[in-house]
Amino acid sequence: MIKSGTSFRKNRVICLPFSQKPYNDNINVAVTFRGLVDPIIKKHPELFPSEISNGYQMKDLYYSKKTLIIIRRIKISGISYTIRPSFVMPYLVGMVDDVEKPLFYRKFDIPFWALSYGFKRDPSYWYRIERSIGRNSLVGTTIKDPQDLPLHLVADEKHTWILGIKAYIAITVAKGCILGACIAKDAGEQSLTNAYSVYKEEAQCLNPDYTPETVNTDGWPATLKALKNIFPNIFLIACFLHIFIKIRDRSKKKFKDIYQQVATKLWDCYDAQNKASFSQRVRRLYEWAKNTSTPSVILEKIEKLKNTVASFSIAYDFPGAHRTSNMLDRLMQRMDRHLFSTQYFHGSLFSAQLSIRGWVLIQNFAPSNPFTIKKYNGLLSPAERLNKSRYHDNWLQNLLISASLAKLYRAPPQNPT
C-alpha cells in the first residue's frame, strides 16, 4: 500500500500468461507476438486497461541481462505499457520456477535465512520479493470480477508491535480470503478509519459504487465508529461467538456444571430460525439464569446479550450475513503464528505494511492441503475458490497475472512513457 495523497501514477506493467518457449519463439516479430496477445485480450480483457478495446500498437523491445529474455512494450491510447510474461518475477528479479517453492514455504512462516540455506540467494533477496508482492492491491488481485465483491464482511484488529511499539492490523475478511490488512498506530477511531479505508479504496477501484451491506465485529466502539465513517449505510452485526467465549473463559473451570448447561442453552439460542424466535430464546435464557442463581460472571454476559439483542438479531434480515467471526478468527490464527514466528516487525511502518500485505496475498493464492483441494473439486486456493477459476495452473503465476497493472491501485511508476 502506498500512502494516500502521493503523486505516483498507475502501474504500467501488464502480466500475461505465456509459456516460455512460445514466448521466446515469437517475441522478436511484432506480427507473430500480436498473435499471442490478441487471444488473451479477447479471453481476459480485465488484465488490460479499459482502453484496450480501441486497439494497441507495438512499440519497442529490450533485452534483460538479469533473466536473459526479451521484453516488449506496447502503446494503448498513446500510453506505453510493458508486457511481462508470467514466468518472470516483477522487476525481473528472477524466474518464477526458481521462486515459487520458497514463497510457498513462506505460507508456513519458514524464515528467510532458512530459504537462503535451502534455495541459495541472500536472505534479503527473499525478504524483498515477499514485500514486492505486497505492493499490489489485495482486493483487485484477489477478486477477478467486480460482481464478486462481497456484500457481507467480517472485521477485527490484530495486536502487533513495530520496533517494540504496539500497533494494530485492521483486517477485513470475506469469502475465505483476507481482503484488507492495514496497520494502525493505535486503536482510536481516526487511526482505524484510515486503516479500514484502504479496503474501501481498493474495492472501489473495481466498482466505484461498491458498498457492503453488513459487517460482523466484536463490538469495540472505535471499530464500529470507523466502519460507519467509511460505509455510512452499512449494518453492524455483533459477533455471537464473542459472547460465548467471554462466558467460557470465565466459567468453564470454576463453574463447570452450570457452564455446560449455559453453553447448551446459548447455542440453542443461536440455532433459532428467525429473529422473533432468537429474541424469545435469549429472554428465556436470561430468566432461567436469573432464577437458578447463576454466577454473576455468567449472568452479566447473558444480561448484556438480552439488552443488545437487536445488534445480534439484525443478521436475520440479511441472508448470507456473518453471525460470528469464525472465518476471520481462523485466518487471524495463521497471522498470529506468522507474527510470533517473525517476532513482529523490526523496521518502518511502510516496510511493515508491505510485509503483511505480501504475506496476505501468499495466503490467498498458495495451494491448500490436498484434502481441501479435493473437497473443492480441484480449486487450489482461497482466491481460486472465490473466483471459481484460475489464469494459470502455477499458483505464483496465477497471483502475478491476477495482479496485472497492480489492479489499478496506487503504485510507484514502472517505466517512463
HEC assignment per residue over 123-175: HHHHHHHHHHHCCCCHHHHHCCCHHHCCCEEEEEEEEEEECCEEEEEEEEEEC
Kindly report the number of other CB atoms within 10 A of residue 88's CB atom.
24
pLDDT at 257: 83
Q: What is the C-alpha to C-alpha distance for residues 289 and 287, in angstroms, rounded to an integer?
A: 6
Reported as type and span, the H/E element at residue 31 is: helix 30-43
Q: Is 151 exposed, middle or buried (0-12, 13-18, 19+ CB in 10 A)?
A: middle
pLDDT at 223: 96
C-alpha cell at 160: 502487533
Q: Profile the chain (417 residues) by mean pLDDT over runs of 10 residues.
A: 45 92 94 96 93 94 90 94 95 94 96 95 95 94 95 96 96 97 96 96 94 94 96 96 92 87 94 96 95 90 94 96 96 95 93 96 97 96 96 96 74 37
**Left if phi > 0, otherwise alpha if psi is -120 to 50, otherwise beta: which for 313?**
alpha
337 closest CA partner among 158, 130, 153: 158
pLDDT at 89: 94
Torsion of CA 385, 194, 236, 172, to 10 degrees: 20
C-alpha cell at 282: 435469549
pLDDT at 219: 84
Alpha helices in 315-417 (DSSP H): 326-341, 349-365, 370-375, 382-387, 395-402
Q: What is the C-alpha to C-alpha distance for residues 394 and 347, in angstroms, rounded to an integer?
A: 32
pLDDT at 256: 84
CA 39 to chain centre: 30
pLDDT at 407: 60
pLDDT at 127: 95
Domains and CATH numbers, the chain: 1-133+391-417 (no CATH), 138-239+325-334 (3.30.420.10), 241-316 (no CATH)
Q: Is 78 exposed, middle or buried (0-12, 13-18, 19+ CB in 10 A)?
A: exposed
Q: What is the C-alpha to C-alpha distance for residues 157 and 169, in angstroms, rounded to an integer?
A: 5
Most distant CA atoms of the chain, gap in Å: 85
Strand pairing partners for 13? Answer: 82
pLDDT at 8: 43
pLDDT at 1: 42
**CB contact at 8 A, 170 and 195:** yes
Kindly report the three-state secondary structure assignment for every residue of 238-258: ECHHHHHHHHHHHHCCCCHHH
pLDDT at 11: 74
84 closest CA partner among 93, 73, 76: 73
Helix (H, G, I), strand (E, B) or coil at 232: coil
